[in-house]
Every structure is written in structure tokens, then in C-alpha cells.
Amino acid sequence: MKAVLWAQFCKDKRNPLVVLLFIAGSILATLLFAGGVSSPTTVPIFSEEKNASEIEKKWESLLNVSDSFRFEIMDPKQARENVRDGNIDVAVKVMATDYRLVANSERPTVSYVQQHVEKVFNREAQISAIAKTQGEENVRSEIENYLEDAPFQLDTQGLDSEHIPKYNLSIQLLFAFTFLISMFIAGLKVNNVTNDKVSGVWNRMILSSISKTSMYCGYVLYSFLITLVQVLVVLLLFKYVMDYEVGDHLWLIILIAAFFIFSMISIAMLITGFVRSPEQFYAIYPSLIPMIPLISGSYMLPGTITNPVLLFIADLFPMVHAIEAIMSVVFYSAGFEDVIMSLLLMLLIGVVAMGLGINLMERRGH
């Protein structure tokens, strides 16, 4: 096993560019699609009324009460062009007592912005109606003072603590893209089995004193270690350099990632059992892998996918179990006993897929 492990390491030592590019790719994908360091989404606002400047300043101060959005005044023509070109998802056209959204797609950001803007406009409409009815100009300050010391107070509390966790999709995307790249690395390394069989290296190793069990263990262990290194580099970088909130149980996250990597190596081994050449593997595996995070809902908020067929298919892959376990650890401070079921499911998937894959390769070899 040590000889196989060392031989695979020497291959990457002579040409480490591929692994380094994969690691850089997982970091760049997270920065691009998860927004880098967590920051409010910028939403342009503009007005085309006669007193546009006054209206824009009024609504800019009223709308900027959320930590999720930052509303900035922008020229109407530029705002529309940015939306049309896809540079921004949505812009808000404000009027004296109404608004319109300018968007070219139905992305989640659009609905979030609409909910926030509608809430602010409804509140202003109620305050204006009260002011007209009572004929008082300082009704806004009276309402705000009243709400600060209202007769009924509502306190919110989490199930396990007073702190209620705020779900951050950027953290989920961090793990989704990290695991996506790790699946490609794992498949690339497992495919070395097929490469060595085609080149004749496998037959030469069989004639030596190395057992087949040691040979398979060498390939699997090296694939596991190199993929785990990629995950560790990305997680440590985002936690300690980019200050991402990934929780205090990093050891448990790494343990979950290790189970996920083993499961995906097993699935790659299963696919290897069906193909006869490295080229066939490269044709099938890269086409299958990008669909796994989509079916698993790793790019979306929990509960977005409700189709029972898709949910059943997602459960057959370890991605959904890994993301669910890690999000429980990050946002809800789950312990080992809380995620043990997810770990066992990933282990079961890995054992079954590994057994079937090796069995298929051995039968084809005979």
C-alpha cells in the first residue's frame, strides 16, 4: 500500500498544477457566488418625478434600516442599464407614495427586496394616514416613542439558547462549492486506477508482492488525503483569514467532510467500475457531479426543493446529508450525537458504492 501511495504522490509532486487550480477554483467560486466576505446587497433607487431629489433622499433614509440591503441613489438611466446588462438583480423606482421594481429575472434577491420595500412603504402609508387624520406633524416621533415602550412586548428565544441563529446562505454556499470541487478532485484521483490498468501498470503491480487489497487501499487512501487537504485549506482560509463564521466546532465539520469525501470516492469508484477507459470516465463523471448539488438543494435555502422524487434521489448521494449536518453544527451548535445519523448514512452510501465498484472492476478484469 505504501508503494502505491508514494507513486500517486510522486505523480502530483511532478505536476501539482491541477490540484492547486482546483483549490483556487473552490476559493474563487465561493468569492464570486457567495459574495466574498458577508456584506449587504447594494440596491439602486431612483426617481423620475419632478421633485426626484427630495423623494430619493426621503426613501433612501427610510429604506436603509436593514442589515441585508444597502440602498443607494443612482441615475435612472444607469440603474436600468445595470439591470438590463445583468450587473444587478433589481433596482427600485420610488415615487411619493408608491414604488416599482425594475428587474429582468425572478431571482431570490428580487423577492427579498420586494418584501423589505413593501414593508417600509406600508408602514409609511399607515403613519401618513394617521397624521392626516389627527392633523399632527410630529406623529412619527410619537409612534416611535410609543413602540419603544409598547404595552405588549414580544421576546424571541431559541430552543436551546437565548440567541436565535440567523441563517446565512453564504456559509452554505461556501461548503457547497468546496464540496463540489472536492468531488472533482476525488474522481480525478480515483480514475488513476483506470489509467494504470490501461497503461499496464496495474498488471505489473499484480505480479509483484503487493496484494490487490493493498493496491485498492493505496489508491483510495491517497484520493482521500489529497481531497481532504483541499477541503482543509479552503476552510482554514475562510475561517481564519476571511473571517467567515463557520462555528466553533471545526473538528466536527472536518469529521463530516471526511465522511463525505469517503462517500464520494466510493461513488467515483462505482462509476469507474462501469467504464473501460479513462476517457469514458471523463465523459460521464464531470456530467454527473454538477447535478448533485442542484438536486441536493445545496445552492438554495432549506425547504426550497419539495418534489418527493428529487428528494429521494438526493438522499442517495452524500451531499445532502453533509450539508444538513454542517449547517446544524454551524448555525445551531449541534454536537456529535446530533449529526451521527448523517454520518452513518454517508458511511452506508460509501460502503455500498465501494463494494459494488470494486466488484464490478474485478468481474470485468476476469
State pLDDT tens for residues 332-347. 888 899 999 999 999 9
Residue 159 lies in a domain: no
Same structural domain for residues 214 and 300? yes
Same structural domain for residues 50 and 7? no
CB 72 within 8 A of CB 61: no
CB 201 within 8 A of CB 344: no
Per DSSP, what are the bridge partners of residue 42?
70
Same structural domain for residues 81 and 219? no
Question: How many other C-beta atoms can be found within 10 angstroms of the C-beta atom of residue 204?
Answer: 11
Question: How many other C-beta atoms can be found within 10 angstroms of the C-beta atom of residue 76?
Answer: 17
Residue 23 lies in a domain: yes
Same structural domain for residues 182 and 235? yes
Per DSSP, what are the bridge partners of residue 46?
93
CB 268 within 8 A of CB 186: yes
Residue 307 lies in a domain: yes
Same structural domain for residues 187 and 311? yes
Residue 158 lies in a domain: no
Q: What's the CATH code of the domain at 76?
A: 3.40.190.10
> What does the pLDDT look like over 283-319, one tens digit per residue?
899 888 989 988 888 888 777 788 889 889 989 999 9
Same structural domain for residues 6 and 103? no
pLDDT band at 147 (very low <50, low <70, confident <90, very high): low
Q: Which domain holds residue 295?
A: 2-35+168-365
Q: State the alpha helices, DSSP H only, in 135-211.
A: 139-148, 169-190, 192-199, 201-207
Q: How many domains does the chain have?
A: 2
Task: For 103, list phi and psi in degrees, rounded to 5.
Answer: -150, 155
Q: What is the mean pLDDT of the chain?
A: 83
Q: Best-predicted range by mean pLDDT among 112-116, 139-143, 244-248? A: 112-116
pLDDT above 90 covers a percentage of the chain that reads 23
Same structural domain for residues 128 and 233? no
Same structural domain for residues 129 and 178? no
Same structural domain for residues 87 and 18? no
What's the pLDDT at 152? 64
Residue 163 lies in a domain: no
